[in-house]
Structure 1
Amino acid sequence: MNAILFALLAITPLVAGHGYLASITVDGATYEGNTPSSNSVSSVIRMIDDIDPVKGADNQYLACGQNAQKAAKVASANPGSSVSFKWVNSAGGNWIHEVGPLMTYMASCGSGGCTSFDHSNAEWFKIEESGLRSDGTWAMADLAAGKSATITLPSNIKSGEYLIRHELLALHTAQALGGAEFYPACAQLSVGGSKTGTPDGTVSLPGAYSDTDPGILVDVYDLSGSYQFPGPAVSNLAGNTARDVVESAAVNSTAAQLPRRMSRVMRSVNFAQ
């Protein structure tokens, strides 16, 4: 197979891989979302109007996705609840991209509640991040295998209504400035209980990232050292500020070696979209 054909096959999933958050599950209760611009379901997920990725760290849609709209409902949760995110491609099948981290943020909707809250004013804190694993695969690969991404809410989080923001950061074209693809989505939660924990720091989105951050402008097919997650450290509320990083020198699996062999071909293709 010649290099040009190999490169074309490598980028074939780019368009089909664009997609959206189809549903969330909170402690076993599933809440369906809308296909972009359909508005056919009264949902807890803020509906976007375009399956394309958000491009650029200063993009106004970085918070909750392309022109995301307030949702009509909130999902019931509690401190320590399990929340799963089901992502699909544009045709409703499995997510396609396999390379990149997953990150989860939350933001209080304040006393007025989430159904009327403007996410451009949100003060975000990170509760989870997962990236490159010891076998050389990325957390995003689970979505391509048809699995959901599951996180646990902080066990001491104060009661109230929150946006929960799940973000996929696809890095297959991130070796060029502006090549990283952000796929953020937001859902609305009402957290019960009597806990009083609050975050020790918050960030704005956009604002927390730069296009030149080492976790955003990065050649993952020739990664040297640890992958560095963009944005803030995991919040004190999550009980663990350690980042899920793996030294690439310790990765010896075939899964890690293949992307490095691909790097010369991938870098030779113009990925501008």
Structure 2
Amino acid sequence: MRISTLTVALAALQTVAAHTVFTTLFVDGVDQGDGTCVRMPMTPSNATDPVNDLASSDMACGFDGTKGVARVCSTNRAAKLNFVFREYADASQPGALDPIHKGPCAVYMKNVKSAINDPATGDGWFKIWDEGYDQTTSQWCTEKLMQNNGVLSAQIPDNLAGGYYLVRPELLALHQSDKNPPNPQFYLGCAQIFINSTATALPKDTVKIPGYTNISDPAVLFNIYTLNLPYHTPGPGAYKSGVSATVDTKPVEQQTEGLLPSNVVLTNANWWAAELNSYSDQAGCSNASETCYGKAKSCYDSSPPTGSKNCRIWEQKCKDIQTACQGNQLNGPPNKGKILTPPQQSGVELPSPSAASASPPYASVSAGSPASSAASAPSPYASVAAANPASPSSSVSAPNSSSLQVSQDGQCGKDLGQACKGSKFGDCCSDKGWCGSSDAYCSAGCQAEFGVCGQSQPTGLRRRDMRLAKRVRIYRPYDDSPEGS
């Protein structure tokens, strides 16, 4: 029996950002994975946009932040948390935040009954750390963040009761706060965690979000150009273990939500897949193939803007099963029980303990984070880059024909007379005729006569053009049939 390839029409967006978004959580130096346990915007076109309405529910955990994700990350008492902010959610380009975005940073927490189901809005929030303008170094907190390529760090207060929490890193850009009307820009998200602790304290004093600040607050209207110091950060003072007033509560003894089942073989952000059931005949093989592709679709559908690269690994597993079925190899699934999740590779290199203690609360990040592709691939089901990688090459010559024009709308190919080299959407022309910069555009099937192939990191792109491209929505339906071009 031939299992038909699933055809999925997806709105794949070339994510080019001028702002920033919280993408990745580290717990005591351990990378939890891009998007894992993180509430973040699910639409690539606005993933890095600021929250401008200070009275909206988006102030709690950002766009789409009232909806929880399926994973909850476990932490120990007084754990150190690192929050990675990126200008490009999928790390397809380096950068944390545009240098003109200057202002304070903060980290808030909220004790909740369910980290997955709590809507995040309302009372119960308390600040655990903040920094505004450092008069010693003449730097805003965001400038320090940019120097460290986007990592913000804070330690969980030692006496917080064990249980579920939302943790909310916040950046405030004040570069347009002096305008009329003023435009303070908040960049934030939330991590879902469980603290394993027998401690019993919760802060007595909490604030509402939205509500802890408003458009009349001097902290959000501060003019960074006249710099009339001192500057006071928005919101309450930071909670201090053993100092701030507390109330006693019974700690939650054991985490019961957001954990991975023991038989999981692959994860992507907050999606996971358990191993397929064994089979030994044609019907079982066919059922396993269809089940596998169904899970692949759910992986792609649920992928946040940080990427869907591990969905490709699962899709390759489905292809292997389908090939085995067609070849009458009916005992499976192949490589049953093999863990497919690769080591976490968010590109973040945290400092040694001595370095961290020398300059808290920041950590350093290595340049050149690897790209993932949920936001940029024309179709996850179309991608063959993972299974058939292109031959390495440092460069490919640009099209010889002088009649080709640089693509201004993201499309490329002979019929259009357009090439991608120098396009704001990326230098590579995919087999489906779209300009881009990730592996899905630059590897297998890439049209070398209409762009650059074999290098997923575009060269020579101007940041101004990349920011302009971010504001253009391109919907790219994919023709999955053998005749698709």
TM class by shorter chain equals: 0.7 to 0.9
Cα separation, partners in 2 of 1:169 and 1:86, compared to 1, 3 Å? same
SS in 1 for 2:208: coil
Moved over 3 A (4+): 236-241
Q: Deviations over 1:88-119 (max 9, x none)?
A: 00363211234111111000112xx2112221
Q: Report the counterpart of residue 48 of structure 1 in structure 2.
A: 41
Among 64, 69, 72, the alignment partner of 2:70 is: 72
What is the identity, as a one-letter code, of the residue corresponding to 1:138? W
Q: Report the counterpart of residue 144 of structure 2 in structure 1.
A: 142
Q: Report the counterpart of residue 59 of structure 2 in structure 1.
A: 62
Conserved 8 A contact 1:153-1:238: no
For 2:217 and 2:73, how far apart are their aligned partners in 1?
A: 34
Among 188, 200, 203, the alignment partner of 1:199 is: 203
For 1:95 and 1:28, how far apart are their aligned partners in 2?
A: 19
TM-aligned CA deviation for residue 178 of structure 1: 3.4
Conserved 8 A contact 2:109-2:125: yes
For 2:227 and 2:133, how far apart are their aligned partners in 1?
A: 11
1:29 aligns with 2:27: no
1:162 aligns with 2:155: no
Conserved 8 A contact 1:44-1:75: yes
For 1:182 and 1:203, how far apart are their aligned partners in 2?
A: 17
1:100 aligns with 2:103: yes
For 1:239 and 1:126, how far apart are their aligned partners in 2?
A: 14
For 2:68 and 2:162, how far apart are their aligned partners in 1?
A: 21
Q: Report the counterpart of residue 39 of structure 1 in structure 2.
A: none
Higher relative contact order (CA closer than 8 Å, sequence separation 6+):
1
For 1:192 and 1:204, how far apart are their aligned partners in 2?
A: 26
Conserved 8 A contact 1:154-1:238: no
Cα separation, partners in 2 of 1:172 and 1:20, compared to 1, 3 Å? same
For 2:87 and 2:52, how far apart are their aligned partners in 1?
A: 18
1:124 aligns with 2:117: no
Cα separation, partners in 2 of 1:238 and 1:223, compared to 1, 3 Å? farther
Q: Deviations over 1:239-267 (max 9, x none)?
A: 479xxxxxxxxxxxxxxxxxxxxxxxxxx
For 1:96 and 1:238, how far apart are their aligned partners in 2?
A: 35
Conserved 8 A contact 1:72-1:115: yes
Q: Deviations over 1:195-229 (max 9, x none)?
A: 11110211111111111211101111111121111
Q: Report the counterpart of residue 212 of structure 2 in structure 1.
A: 208
For 1:170 and 1:114, how far apart are their aligned partners in 2?
A: 28
For 1:216 and 1:150, how far apart are their aligned partners in 2?
A: 22
5+ residue gaps, structure 1 = 1-14, 35-42, 242-272
For 1:115 and 1:136, how far apart are their aligned partners in 2?
A: 40
TM-aligned CA deviation for residue 16 of structure 1: 3.7
For 2:207 and 2:75, how far apart are their aligned partners in 1?
A: 23
5+ residue gaps, structure 2 = 1-15, 246-470, 472-485
TM-aligned CA deviation for residue 238 of structure 1: 7.5
For 2:23 and 2:218, how far apart are their aligned partners in 1?
A: 30
SS in 1 for 2:167: strand
TM-aligned CA deviation for residue 62 of structure 1: 0.5
1:235 aligns with 2:235: no
Cα separation, partners in 2 of 1:121 and 1:33, compared to 1, 3 Å? farther
1:152 aligns with 2:155: yes
Among 206, 226, 230, the alignment partner of 2:230 is: 226
TM-aligned CA deviation for residue 78 of structure 1: 2.3
SS in 2 for 1:115: coil
Conserved 8 A contact 1:158-1:196: yes
Q: Report the counterpart of residue 250 of structure 1 in structure 2.
A: none
Specify the structure having the higher radius of gyration (Cα).
2
Q: Deviations over 1:126-154 (max 9, x none)?
A: 11001211211111113322141111110
SS in 2 for 1:83: strand
Conserved 8 A contact 1:89-1:95: yes
Conserved 8 A contact 1:128-1:238: no
Q: TM-score by structure 2 length?
A: 0.43
Number of corresponding residues: 218
For 1:237 and 1:161, how far apart are their aligned partners in 2?
A: 18
Pairwise CA RMSD:
2.1
Identity, % of aligned positions: 29
